[in-house]
Structure formats: structure tokens, C-alpha cells
A = this chain, B = another copy of it.
Amino acid sequence: MQLKKYTDYGLRILMYLGTKEGVDGRSSDDAKGKLTTIKAICETFDLSSNHVNKVVHHLGRLQLIETRRGKNGGFFLAKAPNEIRLDYVIRQLEGDEPWIECHNPYCVALPACELKGIVARGKELFYDYLHEFTLADLLKKRGQLQQIFSTAS
């Protein structure tokens, strides 16, 4: 019972982008508006580039970030931080299956089982709570994060 690292990495990437973001959604650490690259993320968080690659791609498909191929390519947030709800990010990256498995192996009690509904409702309460937060909430200590990200590598 734990979120996948995949999901975790996705959230870290969004946080990183959130700290870089200027008015135009580009990296602000450079006047040229350089984009953030997978390489930069990997160096900052010390992660495998292959994995980050996939997560970035996924975030792109979700239209949470915009990716640019080719030289000087990279990616940046496609929405304002306060429009990126945590429940959505986690549900999508994590996958949204029921938290309890009634088939595989099939449970004979299924037709009279009250449990699956209770767990499903609990799951929804978890996500309802996450729905109250956005990426902006993760950036409260933005200055400190910027400092961490700029010195890490």
C-alpha cells in the first residue's frame, strides 16, 4: 500500500517545473527562456533518465506539461500551478483501479460483500481530500525549493 515511485517522480517533476516557471511558463533561470530537460531533472533528483523519460512523456500526454523535441527542446508547465489538482495527477499516474481485488482470485462472498463498497468509498475520500490541493500548494516554500534545486545537481 504505497504510491509508485513513478507517481512520486511525476510530482517531483511538477514541483521542479513550478519553481522554474516564469510568466511565460519557461524556465526563469536564464533570460533566453531555456526549457527544462530530462537531464536537468535527473541530475537534480539523482534519478534514472529512462524512468524520468517515461514520466515526462506521460505528463505530456496528460497535458500537464508541454514537451518540445529537438535541439533546445525540453518541457514546461502547460497550466498554472493552481490549476493542477493533486488528485488528478495522482489518479492518472498511479492508475485508478479499486484498492481491493474481488476477482483474481474470485471471492465467493462477492454477491453479499459489503467490504468492497466501504473500501471504495474510503478511496474516494482520500482523493476528495487531495482534490483540495494543487501544485501551487506544493510551492509554498518556493524560495527554499529553488535554492535546493539550484544547488543540487
A98 to B8, CA, bound (A): 13
A22-30, A68-76, A136-144: which one contacts chain B?
A: A136-144
Kindly report which residue of chain B lies nearest to residue A142, judged by CB atoms: B112
> Do A1 and B101 have beta carbons less than 8 Å apart?
no
Kindly report which residue of chain B lies nearest to residue A132, judged by CB atoms: B118
> Do A108 and B141 have beta carbons less than 8 Å apart?
no
Kindly report which residue of chain B lies nearest to residue A110, judged by CB atoms: B148
Min distance, Cβ A13 to any Cβ of chain B, angstroms = 11
B105, B112, B119: the one contacting A47 at CB < 8 Å is B105
Min distance, Cβ A15 to any Cβ of chain B, angstroms = 6
Residues of chain B with a CB closer than 8 A to A125's CB:
125-126, 129
Q: What 3 pairs between A and B have smallest CB-CB spacing?
A: A112-B141, A112-B144, A122-B129
